[in-house]
Structure 1
Amino acid sequence: MPQKNYKQAIQDPIFSIVTEASENLQVECYVIGGFVRDFLLGRGNPKDIDIVAVGSGIELARKVASKLPGKPQVSIFKNFGTAMIKHGDLEIEFVGARKESYHRDSRKPVVEDGTLEDDQKRRDFTINALALSLNSSNLGDLLDPFDGIGDLERKIIRTPLAPDVTYSDDPLRMMRAIRFATQLNFTIQLQSLQAITENKERIKIVSKERIVDELHKIIASKKPSKGFALLHKTELLPIILPELTALEGIEEIEGQRHKDNFWHTLEVVDNISETTDNLWLRWAALLHDIGKAPTKKFHKKIGWTFHGHEFVGSKMVYKLFKRLRLPLNDKMKFVQKMVLMSSRPIVLSEDFVTDSAVRRLVFDAGDNVDDLMTLCEADITTKNPRKQKKYTNNFKLVRQKIEEVEARDHVRNFQPPVSGEEIMATFNLSPSKEIGIIKDAIKEAILNGDIPNEPDAAKAYMLKLGKGMGL
């Protein structure tokens, strides 16, 4: 393959400083990996730069830092033999060229010093093994021993070594292959895809945090369904997210069928990804139907039902988050809430929408009502144009009604117009269950539309309640 030069990729002044520092130390150095790949793909200006030195990467990082304005701190990771410098909006990581060998029960390699080609061989994919020289003698030359540039043109994910070796050595690379295929809209080479299936059980030695990091990137991509279809095809998905694969399949009894909730879910995730970058709302779309597998029942008179699947699904969210070591904080509670309420606007869109029902929806959803509506709109996956138009228009009416009710009644993040202290003072009560009863009755009256959400109306209603209770 003829030599190619890409000096235009290394115009940032940081590269000339790295070149100067490497010459001072008399070591070869190269920029490698994602920076080169993304430049060749025209994916903007990458802010993460990986430098490989044929020698000590840590020493090179120190020398570069000494030449930069303000002499930035060098973060050293001795266990990994790497160092990092933050310079403006760039993060530059330095590593010495190395070769690796692995033990069967660990993805942590035994590392030895190596050549540039040794370092390129240990990279996960050919498209990430591309290197540009930062040496004066051949500045900007592309070093591509595995035809990574050809794979970029062919849009293929392929490993530099035999895929079985690559994936068995470091099983996280199976997730990375699927993630890159999803993000870049590439195809995984058939031999590589088969090797992922053959090595699927090896994913169990990878930490949950690393797996989730790759899942996040798949979910955050333009079309997440591609990644989940690949996880399904390679049989990794039942190991990582069995709650999703449990949804697959269509059963038929006495001519009655239900839709395949797994493939429907992937459509919903793609739909929502067109309208929001909110990672946790995308998670909610992914998990919104997980309660359908354990609640599925067939009844002769009415066919298939999934009664209470939202409630069951919201409980499953906690267990799933805990198992995957996802955050058990407000993010998890948000996903639970979205799953629990995922059918509420659908019910409203199918019936005559009363102010009372909308008020209760806004009260229960609070600040998340817009997210909930976005989720429900994404849930429209019917291929029938008439039905799709009908559901879309119905949701527009629900949104309009929400705006009208909220403007008039202010029930989002509801604060009672009469406090417990006022009730105690009015009826000369000490803390007691009667106060809670009165507060709940006022709230219900406002949500039902019996009284407006105003202090005067609430106080008048309070006095009427008190009289009825003999206070």
Structure 2
Amino acid sequence: MPNAPTDEPTPEQRQAIAALLARVIPPAADELGRRFAAAGHELALVGGPVRDALLGRPGKDVDLTTDAAPEKVLALVEGWADAVWTIGIEFGTVGLRKGDLQLEITTYRSESYDPRSRKPSVSYGTSLTEDLRRRDFAVNAMAARLPGHEFVDPFGGLGDLRRKVLRTPGRPEDSFNDDPLRMLRAARFAAQLGFTVAPEVVAAMCDMAARIEIVSAERVRDELSKLICAAHPREGLALLVDTGLADHVLPELPKLRLEIDEHHRHKDVYDHTLIVLEQAIAQEESGPDLVLRLAALLHDIGKPKTRSFEPGGRVTFHHHEVVGAKMTRHRLSALRYPKDVVADVARLVELHLRFHGYGTGEWTDSAVRRYVRDAGHLLPRLHKLTRADCTTRNRRKAERLRRTYDDLEARIARLAEEEELAKIRPELDGNEIQAVLGIKPGPLVGRAYKHLLDIRLDRGVIGKDAAKEELLRWAREQGLEPPAS
């Protein structure tokens, strides 16, 4: 039986585990355990908090499970909890707060999906072991009874932690049929924990990949974000591609595996993308940056649609950044990412090639101003993405690109000292434009404003009088007759 418990802990090990859990389990959870026991009910810390305690990872979640029905849970915490919320009560979960501690209590349950439905049907149980059986992976199917801290591990989760492997408590086919999102969670845990996924689990993911389509876009998005922001995202993404799951949740990624024949030469775009992601991560300064990581992952997704074969074995991808930006907006919107995330990632994809027009420093100051202006608040991320996009193995070329970008950043810093680049505005505002041209608010004001902004970017500060002259000259070219001064 592939999922039978293994590495049963000795009594001494169980005692050591109980002592470890006693140090990390909040006193309030033990207090609640005594309250449930006095009423004849079980309560246990379960899942991720137990796993993380055994791995020595700090955890904030306090997930509890009980044989008490939700209505009974509400009665038992009344007068004890400082606040209670029931947003998940239809799935058997009651949330509560005690002081600064937040806890979730879920009644023992089993849940399964109808093949035609996105929502689980829930039935309550009376056995902790059976409740653990329905959980996603054996490493998450361990528990500590409260208040005594008795370690419960019926499916060999402790052994899996030692071997750094992900297995399901029961048959993976049954687990993924109950909740297809668990296939994405396998990839996410591989990325977060650096674990390998058991062969039978990988096989089930391959066979059942299409089942993920019944899961809501929001749940898929949340798992993808956790995977991408994990410590080892490459491992998780590769698992999604290799099992076929990516074909259903992020199809642009496997399409980067372009066929390469002996006559046409270009780098492996898929492998390049994963390297760019890793190099972008290496530049992060204060934790995972979802926008930067998504931009690194998606920056070349326009290449398959724009690939063209040229004489002499050359391959080109003209305007792939423009096509890629459009594809990025479509994919992230389909995954229900917030509008600001969609806009920022798409803009980075659109701008990621701009630097290559810099050459060896031929840009004028006005071109540098435009680069800063177009990047706006994304400039620090654009710096990181552009540097990460250099994956050449030619050391001389890589060093030349690095020095050139150093030079661009130095020019940006010099110009920033002279003027606030990120806040560049025309020297005449909208009201002044209306006064000079004798016009009312409307589209014409916007066109005039853009013209003056272009002059400001091209020539720097020219003064209000010169700006008025330029505005009047432009108005005459538009066939307008400005008022007599």
Q: How many residues are treated as equivalent by the alignment?
A: 462
**1:22 partnered with 2:33:** no
User: Where in structure 2 are the equivalents of 1:180-199 lying within 5 Å?
Assistant: 180-199=189-208
Q: Deviations over 1:368-424 (max 9, x none)?
A: 222211111111112232222222222111111111123224332332111243244
1:111-143 deviation line (CA, Å, top 9, x unaligned): 1423111111111111101111114xxx11211
Map of 2:135 onto structure 1: 123
Residues 17 and 64, structure 1, Cα contact 8 Å, conserved in 2:
no
Superposed CA RMSD: 2.5
Q: CA 1:401–1:58 in 2, change beyond 3 Å: closer, same or farther? A: farther
CA distance change for structure 1 residues 53 and 432 in 2, over 3 Å: closer, same or farther?
Answer: closer
Kindly state the Cα deviation for residue 92 of structure 1 after the two structures are TM-superposed. 1.0
Aligned equivalent of 1:35 = 49
Amino acid at match of 1:126: A
Residue 56 in structure 1 maps to residue 66 in structure 2: no
> Aligned match of 1:243 in 229, 244, 252?
252
Residue 346 of structure 1: aligned partner: 356
Q: 1:29 and 1:424 mapped to 2: Cα distance? A: 72
Residue 91 of structure 1 aligns to a residue in which SS? Answer: strand
- Aligned pairs for 1:144-293 (under 5 A) are 144-252=153-261, 255-276=263-284, 277-293=288-304
Alignment-mate amino acid for residue 28 of structure 1: E
For residues 175-227 of structure 1, the C-alpha deviation after alignment (integer angstroms, 9 at most, x for no partner) is 11110111001010111111111111111111111111110001111231111
CA shift, 1:100, in A, is 4.5
Work out the CA distance in 2 between the residues paired with 1:86 and 1:459: 63
Q: Distance in 2 between matches of 1:242 and 1:348?
A: 33
TM-score by length of 1: 0.90
Cα distance in 2 for residues equivalent to 1:76 and 1:322: 26
The amino acid across from 2:277 in the alignment is V
Distance (Å, rounded) in 1 between the aligned partners of 2:129 and 2:446: 74
Amino acid in structure 1 at the alignment position of 2:211:
R
Change (3 A) 1:7 1:359: same
Tell me the equivalent position of 1:321.
332
Q: C-alpha distance in 2, partners of 1:430/1:18? A: 69
- SS of 1:132's partner is strand
Q: For 2:50 and 2:446, how far apart are their aligned partners in 1?
A: 65
Q: 1:125 touches 1:158 (CA, 8 Å); kept in 2?
A: yes
Given that residues 85 and 95 in structure 2 are in contact (C-alpha distance below 8 angstroms), is that contact kept between their aligned partners in structure 1?
Answer: yes
| 1:89-128 correspondence runs (5 A) | 89-100=100-111, 103-106=114-117, 108-128=120-140
Shift of 1:163: 1.3
Match of 1:75 in 2: 86
TM-score, normalised by the number of residues in structure 2: 0.88
User: Identity rate of aligned residues, in percent?
Assistant: 35
Relative to 1, partners in 2 of residues 1:325 and 1:428: Cα closer, same or farther, differing over 3 Å?
Answer: closer
1:87 and 1:383 map into 2 onto residues whose CA distance is: 56
- The aligned runs of 1:364-379 (5 Å cut-off) are 364-379=374-389
Alignment counterpart, residue 410 of structure 1, candidates 410, 413, 420: 420
Deviation at 1:303, TM superposition (A): 1.8
Aligned partner of 1:54: which letter?
Answer: D
The aligned amino acid for 2:210 is: E
Structural mapping, 1:127-142, within 5 Å: 127-135=139-147, 139-142=148-151
Tell me the amino acid that sits aligned with residue 83 of structure 2.
P
